[in-house]
Chain A
Amino acid sequence: MEAGKGSADLEQEVLGQSLCTSCGACVNICPYIKVVRDRVAVIEPCGLTEGKCYDFCPRTPTDIAALDKSVFGKTRSDFSLGPYISIEMAQAKDSEIRCRAQYGGVISALMKYALDAGEIKNAVLTRPFDGAMMPASVVVEESRQLEECAGSNYVSSATLARMNEATRQGKNSIGLVGIPCQVMALRKMQASRHDTGAKGVKLVIGLFCTWALSYKGFSEFLKKKVDLSQVRRIDIPPPPANVMVVETTAGDIRLSLDEVRKFIKPTCSVCYDMTSEFADVSVGMVEGVEDWNTFIVRTPAGENFIDKAKKAGVINTKPLEETRLEHLKQASSIKKKRAVDAIQKRTNDKKNLLYLRLSAQEKKKFL
């Protein structure tokens, strides 16, 4: 990994280029970088020429193969989904969890189990609505607090900033739920030669992600249609509906997805990861099947944990049909290809892939 740069470079190369994902990895590790909602800023460069912030960021040079090695002990053979041990469909056994959560409720069920069984002491995850439509990252100690965290959100919050705060307080048995950029940053932190509390994260559940919205743009847009304090839930029903449904106390509002897409964060267009390739376990929806999740077990630690969870009867699983798997691979590959294209367009240089350091095989596949 190329290190050796500092906050001034982070500001110039990432924040200044609208490449920040708001993952929060660089926040709360020093007094210079702050986040409010999904806005991250270097308040004043610290003056050091080399620092953690630059090292941790998922949009500073990231060598995919090297990260594979550090997380999985080997490089990948599947170039669309990343390393994995198994792929299935899963759902929470508890029907109550299932109906509160969107789709299969697997994440809520697994986190609840992990906390109750003492696999982890704290869960760091996102609560979708924290007033005015902005999600909030929270640290949860007891499983009943998880209830509020069910549901999807379409604006990213700086989960790793919250995690940094927790590890600074000495918390060292953490389970983290994050989107791909957050998971990637977390793995960079764990692999870093810098001292970091990220090693205290024992379980990483990654979500699938295709894009996130910028809070400012989207909320200003939505504000014109509804009083934000009335928003209760946001959902995107499966295709071909092509709408976003905003449930409010004054009734539902349906927004055309084409309109909503205008507020996608620019950094999402250069994102190379749809399925949280560096997580212990990745979870996402299955197109066309309500109530079930796609479920990728990637690391031995993840496998070990899932085995216990299955034994404890927390989740049901069943095989993912071949056509659906192919479909998933295709979707992931399309995202990668688009990302590489977008990057090349940005840099105007076929060889300059910004933050991405790809192996020769990957280059062959996606360039």
Chain B
Amino acid sequence: MEKKLLLGDEAIALGAIHAGIRGVYAYPGTPSTEITEYIQRHPLARERGLHSTWCTNEKTAVEAALGVSYAGGRVIACMKHVGLNVAADAFVNSAITGVNGGMIVIVADDPSMHSSQNEQDSRFYGKFSLMPVLEPSTQQEAYDMMEYGFELSEREKLPVLMRIVMRLAHSRAAVTVKDSASDVQALPCAKDPASWVLLPANSRRKYAALVEQQPRLEELAAKAPYTRYEPSDKKKPMGILACGIGYNYVEEVKEAKSCFNVLKITQYPLPVSLVRQLAEDSNGILVVEDGQPFAEELVKGMLSADYPVKGRLTGDLPRTGELTPDSVATAMGHQPVRFFEMPKEVVSRPPALCQGCGHRDVYTALNEVVKDYPNARVFADIGCYTLGALPPFRAIDTCLDMGASITMAKGAADAGVFPAIAVIGDSTFTHSGMTGLLDAVNDKAQITVIISDNLTTAMTGGQDSAGTNKFEAICLGLGVEPEHVRVVVPLPKNMEEITRILREEIEYKGVSVVIPRRECIQTLNRKLKQKRAEKKS
């Protein structure tokens, strides 16, 4: 046994390697990215040839992972919470097919939206698809739960969802890890079309079996190794139901152990037996969960209507945002004391596009051109370039989800908006933009699509981008006219050329694509540094 200082994400990655996975399938997304990056760097993963290259999006990742499972290997698929929306079709249906080799889908939620558009809680997806859900509270549990999760998945023949939150993903702690990894697991390949071909006749049978399996899954959750009931010595004190890392904030309050009955939940379906026991021993229940009031609503449904249940819905904890030790302590009646206030001189410091970033030149050019079109709308997308919404550029009008720039621009153009301009990054384009471009081409929509190609997935730290060197070919293949696929180099000295081309393409009555291409200066600098280091040694 060895102790290692690991991020929650890294603990999961190492746990997966040690449990003998065949590979990881993922698309980057904060706060999940470091799981895959750790595996990419790990010597044993390299030695074993484990799959760890990035997928084009989360749906392709989950489907490929299910393919590995079908073939008999253990596998993980990783993504941020909104990635699960993209993968939802594969994910939900994989509970119906079930699995062969163990499969864990790891989804990192982002309460408080530190780097996301929403704070959706992935546990709803687990319940919705009737899958077992694991929710570790510490880095150590995250590591240990990988082996456990694979065994659970293989025994129940179901995929398992592991839900983590940003604080666990991006917090470091010492983790005791095994000295050696299990061998790469290899069950015989599945061959059972009645299970794997989801025709209605098969699906009905499989779905009925899945529903029938639920009481057992709930029993397993009640007996889960990291789920624990800790009654206090007091008679009928307040009860606390703490999920995942919510438990840590409860424990942080000195009086927690002696003054409250604490039920720690780390696996779902939420076990009714434990909740009823807690309710019986306590004079009320405070539900502490990071994310949406998922367990709180379930607990209410399990108890009589007049039983006092407190949490985010009652305002005892804030309805939105990440849990903090402060908010939990306050809900437990131990409001922390503040000695100093933030002086009023302190102002916010929003992030900005790096100096010298090519997206800056794209927006400078676009703003210059759009000045002449008072009705122009710029439909943008998700990536570093979303920062073009902030001063000094204020260049974009919308940003919804990955890929929506092209499709929203098309819809708006259909409804009469001119010019309708889409701005999308290279990685986002291959993630979810290509299909929308095909729609636009087929309808001859009058839109101008700017694919701001910085040769990387910059927002999440500079991962490889699936379409690098292929964009012109993709656009032509989808049917954009060759003379309306234009490539420029976004630099201040080319401003005249870029604005001229933008004007020409805006005026073209059909789909045009302008590709400003210059490498992200952060990845460029990193490569230069590496080269210098290599030269030295």
A binds B: no
- Residues of chain A having any CB pair with chain B under 8 Å: none
